[in-house]
Amino acid sequence: MNNRSKDIELIKQALKGRQSAYRELYELHKHNLFVVCLRYAKDRSIAQDYLQEAFINIFRKLEQFDELKGAFEAWAKRVTINVCLADIRKNTLYAVNITKAEDVESEDVSVLSNISLQEMLALIQQLPFGYKTVFNMYVIDGYSHKEIAEELDISISTSKSQLMKARKLLQKKIVASSQFYNQEHG
């Protein structure tokens, strides 16, 4: 049985009230959804809170899942992202620099492809809050600048600017970390 079929079977059983099906869905998807939460959270503790809230929402809305519209994992990821964004909107003043993206110099981002996923996630965690949120939404989760602007209640140009600045800052961090590594191990 493939993952999609297994998810659908577990969802059917969970909707019939079988508690073990909820547990199994949780166990199957907790790791991937926790990684999503980590990308948006300030720390692991907040990420764990996001994950818990996400699963509460996922299980509460389980009957809304439509297998004809896509995979359960994609739907659960979207619910999880929405939980993270809702908390971000609720608990922070989304402080962003409103410099227009057109005013920000573009740089080659090819350096970003020469780093491991784990290293990249660690560097993303170090970004200022606004940069990190927009970078995650656009680059990793595939939101458009229009969708980001709507979700975060910012302008499209602010979204573009935050993404450009996040990329530039990531480049600097990558170069700095590779220079440090080369000095230590060169």
Question: Among residues 44, 48, 51, which one has the least CA distance to residue 29?
Answer: 51
Rounded CA gap, 115 and 174, in Å? 8
pLDDT greater than 80 at residue 96: no
Domain boundary among 91, 123, 155: 91
| Residue 77, domain member (yes or no) | yes
| Residue 96, domain member (yes or no) | no
* Confidence band for 89, pLDDT divided at 50, 70 and 90: confident
pLDDT value at position 177?
A: 73
Domain span at 53: 3-91
Q: Are residues 30 and 85 in the same domain?
A: yes
> What CATH number should be reported for the domain holding residue 181?
1.10.10.10
- Give Cα separations from 120 to 70, 97, 112, 123 (angstroms): 28, 23, 8, 5
pTM score: 0.69
Chain length of the chain: 186
Instruction: Identify the burial level of 96 via C-beta atoms within 10 angstroms of its C-beta, where 0-12 means exposed, 13-18 middle and 19 or more buried.
Output: buried
Question: What residues have CB less than 8 Å from 110, skipping those under 6 apart?
Answer: none
pLDDT digits (tens, 9 = 90+) for 126-153: 899 889 999 999 988 899 999 999 989 8
Rounded CA gap, 80 and 102, in Å? 32
Hey, what are 43's tokens?
């720390």
Q: Are residues 111 and 151 in the same domain?
A: yes
Q: Are residues 14 and 72 in the same domain?
A: yes
CB 58 within 8 A of CB 83: no
As a whole number, mean pLDDT of residues 56-78 equals 94
Rounded CA gap, 147 and 149, in Å? 5
